[in-house]
Amino acid sequence: MSGRVRERIGLGLGASIVSFAGLLAAIGCSSESSDGGTSLIGAGCGTDGAPPCAEVGAECVRDAGCASGSCVAGQCIASGSGAAGGGGSIPSETGSGGSFILTDDFEPAAGAGPDVCVDLQVEFERITPTVVLLIDRSGSMEQAFDDGRDRWQTLVDTLTDPQGSLLRRLESSVRFGMALYSSDRGFGQGPQRRECPVLTSVDIAIENFSAMSAVLGDAANGPDGDTPTAESLAAVTAQLGAVTEAGPKSIILATDGDPDTCDDPDSNNKQASKDLSVAAVQAAFAAGIRTHVISVGDEVTQSHLKALAVAGAGGDPTAEAFTALNTEALENAFASIIGSVRTCDFTLEGTVDAADASRGTVLLDGAALTFGDANGWVMPDESTVRLQGSACETIQSDAAGISMSFPCDAIEIVPR
- Structure confidence by residue, pLDDT tens digits, 178-222: 999 999 999 998 889 999 999 999 999 999 999 999 999 999 999
Average pLDDT of the chain? Answer: 79
For the domain covering 130-341, report its CATH number. Answer: 3.40.50.410
Phi-psi domain of 365 (left: phi exceeds 0; alpha: psi -120 through 50; beta: other): left
Higher-confidence residue of 365 and 51: namely: 365
Specify whether the CB–CB gap between 291 and 312 falls below 8 A. Answer: yes
Residues 6+ apart with CB under 8 A from 253: 134, 136, 229, 233, 291, 292, 293, 294, 308
Highest average pLDDT, of 8-12, 66-70, 114-118, 170-174, comes from 170-174
Q: DSSP assignment of 142-186, as one string? A: GSEEETTEEHHHHHHHHHH-TTT-HHHHHTTTSEEEEEEEE-SST
pTM of the model: 0.66
Which one is predicted more confidently, 212 or 72? 212
Query: Taking 50 as the threshold, does the pLDDT of residue 17 lie above it?
Result: no
Q: Which of 288, 311, 309 is nearest to 300 (CA)?
A: 309
pLDDT digits 0-9 by tens, 244-256: 998 899 999 999 9
Strand partners, 381: 384
Question: Residue 345: helix, strand or coil by DSSP?
Answer: strand
Q: CA 374 to CA 351: how far, in whole Å?
A: 23
Q: Which stretches of 189-252 are DSSP H helices?
A: 209-217, 229-241
Report which of 136, 125, 235, 228 is spatially closest to residue 173, judged by C-alpha positions: 125
Percent of the chain with pLDDT over 70: 74
Residues of the chain with CATH 3.40.50.410: 130-341
